[in-house]
Copies of this chain bind each other. A is one copy, B any other.
Amino acid sequence: MYRTHTCGELRINHVNETVTLSGWVQKIRNLGGMTFIDLRDRYGITQLVFNSETHQELCNQARELGREYVIQIEGNVAERSNKNTKIPTGEIEILVDQFTILNSSELPPFTIEDDTDGGDELRMKYRYLDLRRNMVRKNLELRHRMGFEVRNYLNSQNFIETETPVLIKSTPEGARDFVVPSRMQPGQFYALPQSPQVFKQLLMVAGFDRYFQIVKCFRDEDLRADRQPEFTQIDCEMSFVDQEDILNTFEGLAKHLFKTLRDVEIEGDFPRLSYEDAMKYYGSDKPDVRFGMKFVELSDLVKESGFKIFDEAEYVGGICAEGCAGYTRKQLDKLTDFVKKPQIGATGLIYIKYNTDGTVKSSVDKFFSSEKLLEICGSANAKPGDLVLILAGVRKKTLTALCELRLEMGEQLGLRDKNKFSPLWVVDFPLLEWDEDAQRFFAMHHPFTSPKKEDIHLLDEAPGKVRANAYDLVINGVEIGGGSIRIFNDELQQKMFSVLGFSPEEAEEQFGFLMNAFKYGAPPHGGVAFGFDRWVSLFAGIDSIRDVIAFPKNNAGRDVMIDSPSQVSSEQLEELNLALKLKEAALNK
């Protein structure tokens, strides 16, 4: 037996017991006749004491140990004279009688501490050492607990977890598939799923009523900063429901997770905001509503002042930064630089300081009287002491820039507390999105998303105005998940395909097999999918999903620890009936 207790288990009531512990050497300190070792395992740290007076030989051996050696000790639990209140085992220590080195360790390439000296690349290469760090392991423990609680909740709500296949069929719509050559079926390929969408809808046709799955999905994209080629979804679908049923069910899930994982009680219903209002007041379909600072449209109010930028703008809008009237020139210049960054793209920033003495000072004093500026401040709900920040330009772009400015101001004012959670549902998304390049409408969600009943009549005359029964769960400005009520009526589905510019033949080729299933009594149904990685990282209070994934890939899609992807043998390719056909650029790489 390697241990009687873990390194996080012993307390004052264990004093005088003889115990056996195993773990890693975290730290060694030699103090006069005593050697102290912090012994670490997943459960905690226990202090070991080697007394050179009573155990000379043992103490000498202990002094030879290195960091991260794996040892087993036997000894007596004693009360510490110098208690450590920071750790649960801090009241006791072990007076060691015997010890064995179970394994030695080379010196790790970085320190196994919360505040490590290892850079990102090194930590990823030695991920198995990085995972020994308390904070990294805690994230993965949280991930485990979250999966467990998701399942507890959904099981209690009669959901059946059903595994759908990983080796499926490539479809031309959407993002790129990863494909898997079939050896048994020469020249043919499986594809890895981007989501189990089709299968979960088939499970509804099959009468499963309530399905869920925590499932790996795959997308062969050019990776952005915080994307992974493989990621995990909480995928759900329900039958005989309308949108309200779904929102209530998953609001229940979210509350359960907040309660069990963060001990946060979310009172009352989650706010619901239409897509239209989200864009109008926050310039984003995933607004951070931990703080107000809603947009105020000023377009009409500021027209015909002779200030060309306002006069020519399609949209003028502002936000009120409370208590910021005292911002310095330098602070304002920095904000101007911020909005002018290429990825934000505003041409400039207009401000009005509403001073505490009731006067106003603005970057457009030339064009507006004090009265007019006060009127603008009034519209923006500014009080004396506040600062009104205004952007102007093309509507869509300006809304987006103002959104970034609002988030930046929220940051500067400390309004984006990671321990505060403000969830909301964004609803009534447009069904279709116009694509300028392709000169056609695309489904904003996917082609099976149901339009709102009251908007169906607009499908012909004004497709862009049709709203969908689609919804997103947004928490703290992060899109945690989204879904929709699906079309389950054949006629409406055909209509949808024709609006999307599919010929009946194309529709048949791409979606025929699902359409065929729908002929046999498909129930009304809808669902939602949550980004598991993203949601864990939100609960963990960290920004990157990589820190909640045990073995993540880097931005080039490489696993630097196992050095993958890699070449395969020519025999393997031969068996798969494949040949490499490298382009010159690749060959020169």
Interface centre among A42, A143, A163, A488 (most CB of B within 10 A): A163
How does the 8 Å CB contact mask read for A200-236 relative to B, with 1 for contact and 0 for none? Answer: 0011011111000000101010110000011010000
Question: How distant is A518 from chain B, measured CB to nearest CB, in Å?
Answer: 8
| Contact partner, A104, options B240, B521, B550, Cβ 8 Å | B521
> By the criterion CB–CB under 8 Å, are B180 and A178 in contact?
yes
> By the criterion CB–CB under 8 Å, are B22 and A129 in contact?
no
> By the criterion CB–CB under 8 Å, are A564 and B523 in contact?
no
Tell me how many residues of A have a C-beta within 8 Å of chain B: 126
| B contact residues around A206 at 8 Å (CB) | 127-132, 137
Residue of B nearest to A222 (CB): B184
Question: How distant is A209 from chain B, measured CB to nearest CB, in Å?
Answer: 4
Residue of B nearest to A40 (CB): B207
Counting CB contacts under 8 A, is A31 at the interface? Answer: no
| B contact residues around A169 at 8 Å (CB) | 559, 562-566
Of A352-360, A379-387, A571-579, which stretch is located at the interface? A571-579
> By the criterion CB–CB under 8 Å, are A165 and B230 in contact?
yes
> By the criterion CB–CB under 8 Å, are A41 and B209 in contact?
yes
| B contact residues around A68 at 8 Å (CB) | 520-521
How does the 8 Å CB contact mask read for A124-147 relative to B, with 1 for contact and 0 for none? Answer: 001111111000010011011001
| Contact partner, A209, options B43, B188, B191, B519, Cβ 8 Å | B43
Counting CB contacts under 8 A, is A172 at the interface? Answer: yes
> By the criterion CB–CB under 8 Å, are A579 and B581 in contact?
yes
> By the criterion CB–CB under 8 Å, are A103 and B172 in contact?
no
Question: How distant is A456 from chain B, measured CB to nearest CB, in Å?
Answer: 17
| B contact residues around A245 at 8 Å (CB) | 1
- Complexed CA–CA distance, A519 and B573 (Å): 34
> By the criterion CB–CB under 8 Å, are A179 and B181 in contact?
yes
Interface centre among A182, A230, A240, A549 (most CB of B within 10 A): A240
Interface centre among A129, A161, A553, A564 (most CB of B within 10 A): A564
8 A Cβ contacts from A1-29 to B = 1-3, 6, 22, 24
- Complexed CA–CA distance, A209 and B2 (Å): 12
How does the 8 Å CB contact mask read for A28-51 relative to B, with 1 for contact and 0 for none? Answer: 000000000000111100000000
What 12 new A-B contacts, CB under 8 Å, besides A143-B163, A164-B550, A166-B218?
A41-B209, A103-B524, A128-B205, A140-B160, A162-B550, A179-B181, A182-B557, A184-B222, A185-B557, A185-B558, A189-B567, A513-B562
Sorted nearest first, the 7 A-B pairs with minimum C-beta distance are: A105-B521, A186-B586, A131-B206, A169-B564, A188-B565, A2-B240, A68-B521
Chain A residues with a Cβ under 8 A of chain B: 1-3, 6, 22, 24, 40-43, 68-70, 102-106, 108, 126-132, 137, 140-141, 143-144, 147-148, 151, 155, 160-170, 172, 176-192, 198-199, 202-203, 205-209, 216, 218, 220, 222-223, 229-230, 232, 240-242, 245, 488-489, 513, 517, 519-524, 549-551, 553, 556-559, 561-569, 572-583, 586, 589
Could you jot down 18 A-B contacts, CB within 8 Å?
A: A2-B242, A6-B209, A24-B207, A42-B208, A43-B209, A126-B517, A132-B206, A143-B162, A162-B550, A167-B553, A167-B564, A184-B220, A186-B586, A189-B566, A189-B567, A189-B568, A216-B216, A578-B581
